[in-house]
Amino acid sequence: MDKITLKGIEFFAYHGVLQSEKELGQSFSADCELYLDISLCNDDLSKTVNYADVACEITSFCRENRYDLLETLADNLAKDILLNYSLVKELVLTIHKPHAPIPTGFDDVSLTVKRGWHTCYLATGSNLGDREKNLDTVWSEIEKNPYIMGICKSDYIETEPYGVKDQPDFLNGAIKVRTILTPRELLKFCNDTEMLCGRVRTRRWGERTLDVDILMYDSEVIFTDDLKIPHPEMHKRAFVLQPLAQIEPYLIHPVRKINVTELLDQLNKGE
């Protein structure tokens, strides 16, 4: 992608933990790298990003909002830019606080965040209560969230329980979204949506009002105690692959390097 760079955008604002910072304010500055495709702009400003507008957006946002932490300021500002400038696919934003209240000599304090739009796939399942309504809740919560754009969703399929058989049959589906949420923010969205439908975790592979799992986040591979992407069991589960193949049959699994249709065929053949 191509890059537009803005450096040293100055503004006076009231961000900080100390009461004096909240009352007196201080000078800050920001650097911003905007990543987009300008190959077809053809000297037309409407087909690129007006960097003067972006600079004004940065100063206005930082003056009109107040936060204790640079972390919160940078995160919210980055999301604001991505929402307001649709051609920007990714950005790197640095906030400088050269007059921070630090009791030693120093040149600068800064915080840098990298944010962008990501294509993600979610698996949904329910076998308690109004199963269809529970699955519909996921799409309705996506529509309410300004940081997630619902692209498409599969039909719902009825499947037998996986792992633990003494429970009702499931309805399962898949959803494709674009989001500026980080993987952990997206995980929180999934967990919060489950809780909205009264999810209670009992036994592994047990019954639930709603299950929302992140299947893929772009082509990233994440393996931590609390988050694993791609979903480590997706290639073993027909009830995941079947609805996913309906909406994205040629989606390539980032680890196995074959598409979901082939994974489903292998699973059905017992390979």
> What is the rounded distance in angstroms from the CA atom of residue 164 to the CA atom of residue 172?
16
Q: How far is CA 97 from CA 8, 77, 114, 170, in A?
A: 11, 15, 18, 53
Whether residue 97 lies in the annotated active site: yes
Planar angle of CA 240, 167, 268, nearest 5 degrees: 35
Q: Which amino acid makes up residue 193?
A: T
**CA 165 from centre of chain:** 34
Catalytic residue, chosen from 79, 97, 153, 176, is: 97
Residue 225, classed as helix, strand or coil, is: coil
Residue with tokens 């949904």: 124
- Catalytic (active-site) positions: 97
